[in-house]
Structure 1
Amino acid sequence: MIELRMGNIPEIPLLWSLRTRAVRQLCASHYSPEQIEVWSESPPPESYLRLFATHCALVAEENGQPLGYGILDRQTGELIALFVEPAQAGRGIGKRLMEGLEAMAADEHFPQLYLYSSLNAADFYRAMGFVAVRDEAYEHPSGITLRSLYMERTMPGDSVH
């Protein structure tokens, strides 16, 4: 059974490795090999320390094995990351993570969530209720520019006070 739990700072390297596999395998259909190479070689951002320390990261696991993770910035309402182990894609792990992140957002009383979606993930986010607002050139910390979609989702009225 897939369970969700808070992520911990010591597991950032393990989760970043999962993210790198996801970028290399799942994003390659929408980005050039050069972009994938630079993107996948970048180190974890320094903000991960703050985000993990302030309980913004959820890990989906089964039998103690991480299957994916998601991060919601509890200060801004931005969905920072959502990655699933490529071999586990299609099992509903992303949906479970999104439900957990939405519960966190409801706890914070955010009226809406927003994110910058890679092109390959846009259909998933649409299925989760996000709407593409604009096409965006995302300036990745590695120095490359990636085409992305800025997306928003209004939270249900009963979660906002």
Structure 2
Amino acid sequence: MASRLNLRAASAGDQHALWRLHTRSITSLCQGAYSSHELRTWVELLRPEAYLPADPPRTVLVAEQEDQLVGFGQLDPVRGELEALYVSPDTVGLGVGSALLSALETLAWRANVRAMTLDASLNAEPFYRARGYVPLHAARRILTSEVHLVCTRMQKRQPLVLRSAAGEGPGQGRAPLPEP
């Protein structure tokens, strides 16, 4: 039986664990989508001290199982931008990414964000498509003057039922929102 997944706000004490997880996720899950040079450059730019504290109003959520960090996500609700979503390679397909994404979407919708946007890595695009995100156009993440990661700009609009619940369209009443 799988252990319970706990989502919580990240704390300053999570910096090194976030860095380790991010590094492992990139080097393992992005193989095949990017060259070894691109992956090496990406990972070399990561620094533990850069993870927290997130500048307000950013929200960083972490997912834990058995007191082990197994995923994290970062949202800027002002821009409606999902800035990061990474899971441990050991937990791919177990619902960690979906739980984090759902919680961050709930926070965005509650902040009255009309549409969530993100730059999906090539390996993560199918994950986002399966959760209602649509591709807008090809994009690039500039890491260095020589390394530009190809990615896909994606978007998901706030569900109409939530807009209706806020009194902004057809329909009446409030739709219940899941707790993050």
Whether TM-score is above 0.5 comes out as yes
Mapping for residues 7-156 of structure 1, pairs under 5 Å: 7-44=10-47, 48-49=51-52, 51=54, 54=57, 56-140=59-143, 144-156=147-159
8 Å CA contact 1:22, 1:83 repeated in 2: yes
The alpha carbon displacement at 1:25 in A equals 0.4
1:29 deviation in Å? 1.4
- The alpha carbon displacement at 1:153 in A equals 0.4
Structure 1 contact 30–120 (Cα < 8 Å) conserved = yes
CA RMSD of aligned residues (A): 2.1
Q: Secondary structure at the match of 1:51?
A: coil
When structure 1 is superposed on structure 2, of 137-146 and 41-50 the one drifting more is 41-50
Pair 1:143–1:12, CA change in 2 (3 A): farther
Residue-pair matches, total: 161
Q: 1:75 to 1:48 in 2, by over 3 A?
A: farther
Q: Is the 8 A contact 2:11 2:53 kept in 1?
A: no
Does the aligned pair in 2 maintain the 1:133–1:151 contact within 8 Å? yes
Computing the radius of gyration over CA atoms, which structure comes out larger, 1 or 2?
2
For the 8 Å contact 1:30–1:119, the answer to whether it is kept is yes
Counting aligned pairs with the same residue, the percent is 34
Q: Secondary structure at the match of 2:135?
A: strand
Q: Secondary structure in 2 aligned to 1:67? A: strand
Task: In structure 1, give the amino acid aligned to 2:44.
Answer: E
**3-state DSSP class of the match of 1:129?**
coil
Instruction: Name segments (4+ residues, structure 1) moved above 6 Å.
Output: none
TM-score of the pair, normalised by structure 2 = 0.82
Tell me, yes or no, if the aligned pair for 1:42 and 1:142 is still in contact at 8 Å: no
> Which amino acid counterpart does residue 24 of structure 2 have in structure 1?
R
SS of residue in 1 equivalent to 2:138:
strand
Give the conservation status (yes or no) of the 8 Å contact 1:7–1:55: no
1:50 positional shift = 5.0
Q: Which runs of 5+ in 2 are unaligned?
A: 167-180
